[in-house]
């Protein structure tokens, strides 16, 4: 398969480069800066990413380009461009007139293959303290900004370019044109990587890899595990058994509804009602991290127990996606993901792992899911934490509190759907607070629970802003919850963003 390799020197934008290239229907992979997959088939071009380092730092990341340069078309971005200049006898330094943020690019040579169609004076995004002050003779300058002379260059006699700016960032007006020139024209990508082609090649690979082996997969009702299951089902049919555990912390009627849609899709699913097991283990547990551990362990125990009833299982399938893979490869080690729900499962079960989505981003998983014919109600679902309502019931979890929260959450989410607001927020949910407040219903004084409503807008959950839901909508949902959910007499709306708050309350 045709692919572009991105060597990652630790820039915050490396994932974005990958996204932009995949938007050109071209497959690409991010590799650590010193792990080029020599000998791999299908490589049509290479990109060197930016980096938090200066090329002059003693700890600056180095890579051996001798087997890459001249062999594949090469594009250095920011640090990548500076690295090429620095290691060829050029001079890179932190100049007084360094640029951060927006600058305007002026082309000197519009016949250059990388610059074709880029508008003169278009805005580009700069984000590094250093600039290339002097270039070796073989470097031909093709673009400058007001303060940076060598904003873009080509190495004569080679298919090698360097750009000081970040074409992958939206602020770079014609950045997409630059990347498309490189990927489509210079590297010669056919642009054939689409959801349909991904499905076809993955199904083929899964058949070869798994043969007649039996596979077990944990379904959660979420997008990733559902798409993974449907893909595997297409490849190996009844040799795939899925297990869906009701931990008693799912949303209103979720177990029944999701099981019905899975059956409708032809999946071989075992539904396990383990509510009592979880409620019992959660008795008296109030600390959020302790709750996560109890719920995670409960899941592993139940899943393991059910999977052992099946015969001859050789593989455990998981819906791991690309951001999880990249995070675990992160070279600077700065990204920390704390939400691993079932880490430890593969080790405990002693099975081989199969992860058909491990190279896809979330929105690509959704596109593949649509192509597979999975309904929008499953594909477009908001993210939901693995520990479920367990981290939305503050303090101790009891079956009665679960009932109250499930009902309140149901009226809230249904209200969002009915008012065309569901797809306008990234995630929404209700939270049950561990306090009661005084109210009055009819002539009676009440003393009941408070429900908090949360809705946020975000792209990846790492940062989030609270959603400005219409007051009329909030008013009617509040009325509905207080009138219909026994045990609640007050509803509040959370207007905190992340950071400094988090999306979940626990």
Q: Hey, which residues are catalytic here?
A: 78, 166, 168
Nearer to ligand XMP, 202 or 226 (CB): 226
Nearer to ligand XMP, 173 or 504 (CB): 504
Contact mark string toward ligand XMP, 269..308, x via CB under 6 A: -----------------------x----------------
Would you count residue 502 as binding ligand XMP (CB under 6 A)?
yes
Q: Which of 392, 396, 329 is nearest to 358 (CA)?
A: 329
Would you count residue 314 as binding ligand XMP (CB under 6 A)?
no
Rounded CA gap, 356 and 359, in Å?
Answer: 8
Q: Choose one: 59-67, 266-274, 378-386, 477-485; the region binding ligand XMP (CB under 6 A).
A: 378-386
Nearer to ligand XMP, 174 or 224 (CB): 224
Task: Find the shortest distance in angstroms from Cβ 222 to ligand XMP.
Answer: 9
Q: Which of 136, 383, 395, 439 binds ligand XMP (CB under 6 A)?
A: 383
Would you count residue 387 as binding ligand XMP (CB under 6 A)?
yes
Task: Find the shortest distance in angstroms from Cβ 374 to ligand XMP.
Answer: 20
What is the distance, to the nearest Å, from the Cα of residue 215 to the centroid of all Cα atoms in its chain? 25
Residues 236 and 209 sit within 8 Å (Cβ to Cβ): no
Rounded CA gap, 249 and 387, in Å?
Answer: 7
Q: Choose one: 13-21, 246-254, 379-387, 393-401; the region binding ligand XMP (CB under 6 A).
A: 379-387
Sign (positive or negative) of CA dihedral 99, 105, 107, 110: positive
Nearer to ligand XMP, 266 or 343 (CB): 343
Sign (positive or negative) of CA dihedral 245, 250, 256, 261: negative
DSSP output for 368-420: HHHHTT--HHHHTPPP--TTGGGGTB-SS--HHHHHHHHHHHHHHHHHHHHTT
- Helices in 221-359 by DSSP H: which ranges? 223-236, 254-264, 275-282, 288-309, 322-329, 345-349
Q: Choose one: 208-216, 262-270, 436-444, 497-505; the region binding ligand XMP (CB under 6 A).
A: 497-505
Rounded CA gap, 67 and 47, in Å?
Answer: 14
Q: Which of 90, 298, 369, 385 binds ligand XMP (CB under 6 A)?
A: 385
Would you count residue 386 as binding ligand XMP (CB under 6 A)?
yes
DSSP output for 142-170: EEE-SS-S-SEEEETTTTEEEESS-TTST
Nearer to ligand XMP, 271 or 383 (CB): 383
Instruction: Tell me which residue has tokens 């999880």.
Output: 324
SS3 content of the chain, % helix, strand, coil (to 5): 35, 25, 40
Task: Find the shortest distance in angstroms from Cβ 251 to ligand XMP.
Answer: 12
Rounded CA gap, 317 and 389, in Å?
Answer: 25
Nearer to ligand XMP, 459 or 502 (CB): 502
Q: Which of 6, 132, 389, 503 binds ligand XMP (CB under 6 A)?
A: 503
Would you count residue 323 as binding ligand XMP (CB under 6 A)?
no
Would you count residue 415 as binding ligand XMP (CB under 6 A)?
no
Would you count residue 245 as binding ligand XMP (CB under 6 A)?
no
Residues 243 and 269 sit within 8 Å (Cβ to Cβ): yes
Would you count residue 339 as binding ligand XMP (CB under 6 A)?
yes
Task: Find the shortest distance in angstroms from Cβ 229 to ligand XMP.
Answer: 17
Would you count residue 461 as binding ligand XMP (CB under 6 A)?
yes
Binding site for ligand XMP (CB under 6 A): 292, 339, 341, 383, 385-387, 427, 461, 498, 502-504
């Amino acid at each position: 398969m045709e692919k572009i390799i991105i060597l990652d020197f630790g820039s915050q934008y490396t994932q974005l480069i990958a996204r932009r290239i995949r938007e050109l229907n071209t497959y690409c992979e991010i590799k650590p800066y010193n792990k080029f997959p020599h000998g791999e088939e299908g490589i049509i071009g290479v990109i060197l990413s930016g980096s938090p380092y200066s090329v002059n730092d003693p700890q600056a990341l180095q890579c051996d380009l001798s087997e890459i340069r001249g062999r594949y078309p090469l594009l250095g971005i920011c640090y990548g461009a500076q690295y090429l200049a620095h290691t060829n006898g050029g001079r890179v330094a932190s100049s007084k007139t360094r640029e951060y943020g927006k600058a305007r690019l002026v082309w000197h040579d519009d016949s250059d293959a990388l610059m074709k169609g880029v508008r003169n004076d278009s805005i580009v995004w700069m984000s590094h303290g250093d600039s290339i002050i002097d270039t070796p003779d073989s470097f031909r300058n093709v673009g400058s900004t007001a303060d940076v002379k060598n904003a873009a260059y080509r190495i004569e006699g080679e298919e090698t370019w360097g750009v000081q700016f970040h074409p992958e960032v939206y602020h770079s007006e014609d950045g997409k044109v630059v990347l498309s020139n490189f990927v489509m024209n210079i590297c010669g990508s056919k642009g054939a990587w689409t959801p349909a082609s991904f499905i076809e090649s993955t199904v083929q690979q899964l058949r070869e890899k798994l043969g007649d082996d039996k596979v077990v997969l944990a379904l959660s009702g979420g997008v990733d595990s559902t798409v993974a299951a449907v893909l595997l089902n297409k490849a190996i049919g009844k040799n795939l058994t899925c297990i869906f555990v009701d931990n008693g912390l799912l949303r209103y009627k979720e177990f029944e509804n999701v099981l019905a849609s899975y059956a409708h899709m032809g999946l071989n699913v075992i539904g396990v009602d383990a509510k009592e097991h979880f409620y019992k283990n959660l008795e008296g547990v109030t600390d959020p991290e302790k709750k996560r551990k109890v719920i995670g362990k409960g899941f592993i125990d139940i899943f393991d127990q059910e999977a052992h009833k099946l015969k001859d299982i050789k593989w455990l399938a998981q819906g791991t996606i690309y951001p999880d893979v990249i995070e675990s490869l992160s070279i600077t080690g700065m990204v920390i993901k704390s939400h691993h729900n079932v880490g430890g499962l593969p080790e405990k079960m002693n099975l081989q792992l199969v992860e058909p989505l491990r190279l896809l981003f979330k929105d690509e998983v959704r596109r593949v899911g649509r192509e597979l014919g999975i309904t929008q109600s499953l594909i477009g679902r908001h993210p939901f934490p693995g520990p479920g309502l367990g981290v939305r019931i503050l303090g101790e979890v009891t079956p009665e509190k679960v009932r109250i929260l499930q009902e309140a959450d149901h009226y809230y989410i249904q209200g969002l759907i009915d008012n065309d607001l569901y797809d306008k927020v990234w995630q929404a949910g209700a939270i049950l607070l561990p306090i009661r407040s005084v109210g009055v219903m009819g002539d009676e004084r009440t003393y009941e629970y408070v429900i908090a409503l949360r809705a946020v807008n975000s792209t990846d959950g790492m940062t989030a802003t609270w959603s400005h839901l219409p007051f009329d909508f909030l008013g009617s949902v509040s009325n509905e919850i207080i009138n219909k959910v026994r045990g609640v007499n007050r509803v509040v709306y959370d207007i905190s963003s992340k950071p400094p708050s988090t999306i979940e309350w626990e």
